[in-house]
Amino acid sequence: MRPARIGALGAWIVVLTGAGPALAQVTSDVPAGLPASIVDLRTVEGVELLGAEWRYHDVHIVETDHRLPGPDLRPSGPPSRTHDIEPQASARDFDDSAWEVLDPTSLEARRGNGRLSFNWYRIRVRIPERIGSFDPTGSTAVFEIVVDDYAEIWVDGVLPVVLGQSGGPLVRGWNAPNRVVLGHDVRPGQEFQLAVFGMNGPISSPPGNYIWIRSATVEFHPADGIGRFQAVEADIRRLDPKLDEVLAPEARVERVATGFRFTEGPVWSPDGYLLFSDPNANTIYRWTPDGQVLVYRTKSGYTGVDIGEYGQPGSNGLTLDDDGRLVIAEHGNRRISRLERNGLLTVLVDRYRGMRLNSPNDLVHRSDGALYFTDPPFGLPRFGEDPRKELPFNGVFLWRDGELTPLVDDLEGPNGLAFSPDERFLYVGNWDLRRKVVMRYGVRADGTLDEGEVFFDLTDAPGEEAIDGVKVDARGNVYVSGPGGMWIVSPAGKPLGAVLPPELPANFAFGDADGRTLYMTARTGLYRLRLRVPGIHPEPAIP
């Protein structure tokens, strides 16, 4: 196969400078905008409009059987006694028919027993046919409550828990508003069961006061408001008619968040959110489709005293293993680590034959669990000339069963990597201004690679960009971060088209429930693009 060259196409490779409309900034709030309607659940009219009824019950602290920590750090050790709460009333179908019914105008009445005390408020809301002149069909419904002092919110028996999360359904702060998106594209008659767990606080210094609700509302935002993002200016070049099978003619690029330093390494969680790195800020962020951006993990790649010397000390590539655990390429710490479900960090590999890795960049699992990763020197302060560099090469590695095997050692800047759908080939991008190529390696039965060949060559492209992230869709098309933007290349190495968003993408992730949304981490922003084909992405077998 002859490698594709861009030839005369280089004349149109430019980076657009238009910033486009400003959208969701880095924030832990749901970006609300102005709602079309607000229903006050502290009023008789409000609860009647939503077919609702407040019910209440005190919570008691009770003793219960448990176990001490075992070798696995889980409650698998010797029997012990601890405390729990009663009743456990978070489930959607919990029977609260015998509970006290509250007049909505009495929500400000002090409840609980003072000092260390807790309680439950439960209410089921139904989307009405109309709210005055507003038709809520297709809108986004947002529940907001302010409980004195703290609150947690279960929606239909679910309390999403993500490491580092504050706000949303979890405790936000002292007398702070909790905001939870009940649903997008809601329909009249649709119901949501809410269970609000109230807490008196501060917990460490139980006050003499009581628990009460300061405010409780349901907002309705029109379909083009919350969670719906405007298109930005982007140049989509169609170089082959077959691009229409991948990207609809009417497809548009959307910016969904901005305000970062340098976004990288995205991965979509099956729990419905995107994780991505900002290696310059040493942070992993979590983005949800309702527009929330939360810090998922600080100090994501380095904690050294000399961090000021580093341009990109933080994490870069992210992926998920078969158990849904986050696997992280840490630049500054020069290692691959795994974030366990209990929040502990396990170092998987940091050395080859006693020599420290350079700065792991990107990573991907094969279906048998084997981990492949690239290890260029770009996370070191002086890159390849850094005196801290110990390995004599910049490699592509295989890590399996605790054993590290170098696979490629002749690339100057091994970067993004991805498997073909049948895993017969591994694509590796090379960040080298003198050799801007995507290599394709055959994968042998034992997981090692053959000599490889040039799959796609952009060396003649102008600019100070080389090859960065690489991803593959279910049909085998390859998505390449290269000079000018994102290139879409057929399995035969033929360029089908290119997408030039306002900022140069560094890497990609396929996401959403159908896997047909391509998320692009691009400098200061996060962008997305709907496709006609699903992409290959981690699909953990989470029980």
Q: Evaluate whether residue 28 is within a structural domain.
A: no
Q: Evaluate whether residue 164 is within a structural domain.
A: yes
CB atoms within 10 A of CB 110: 10
- Which residues are CB-neighbours of 428 under 8 A, at least 6 positions away? 374, 396, 408, 411, 414, 415, 416, 417, 438, 439, 441, 452, 470
**CATH at 355:** 2.120.10.30
Angle at 402 between CA 401 and CA 407, to 5 degrees: 85
What is the model's pTM?
Answer: 0.81
423 & 296 share domain: yes
Q: Evaluate whether residue 518 is within a structural domain.
A: yes
The count of domains in the chain is 2
Q: List b or e across 501-520, with b for residues whose CB sees 16 or more CB atoms inside 10 angstroms.
A: bbbbbbbbbbbbeebbbbbb
Tokens representing residue 493 in the block = 């190495």
> Which residue range is the domain that position 408 belongs to?
4-14+227-530
Q: CA–CA distance from 541 to each of 266, 299, 322, 327, 511 (Å)? A: 19, 28, 5, 15, 16
Is beta strand 273-278 parallel, antiparallel or unpaired with respect to 254-269? antiparallel
**Structure letter (DSSP) for residue 421:** T
pLDDT at 235: 93
The answer, yes or no, to whether residue 437 has pLDDT greater than 50, is yes
Distance CA 195, CA 349 (A): 44
Domain boundary among 166, 192, 221: 221
Q: Evaluate whether residue 418 is within a structural domain.
A: yes
140 & 197 share domain: yes
Q: Evaluate whether residue 539 is within a structural domain.
A: no
Where does the pLDDT of residue 504 fall: very low under 50, low under 70, confident under 90, or very high at 90 and above?
very high
188-218 pLDDT tens trace: 999 999 999 999 999 999 999 999 999 999 9
41 & 125 share domain: yes
- Which residues are CB-neighbours of 31 under 8 A, at least 6 positions away? 23, 24, 226, 291, 292
Is beta strand 485-489 parallel, antiparallel or unpaired with respect to 495-500? antiparallel
Distance CA 287, CA 526 (A): 9
Query: Where does residue 62 rank: exposed (0-12), middle (13-18), buried (19+ CB within 10 A)?
Result: exposed
Mean pLDDT value of segment 485-495 = 97
pLDDT at 436: 97
Query: What sign does the dihedral 330-336-338-343 (CA atoms) show?
Result: negative
500 & 420 share domain: yes
36-71 pLDDT tens trace: 899 999 999 999 999 999 999 999 999 999 999 999
Question: Is the distance from CB of 409 to CB of 391 less than 8 angstroms?
Answer: no
Mean of the per-residue pLDDT values of the chain: 91
313 & 207 share domain: no
93 & 180 share domain: yes
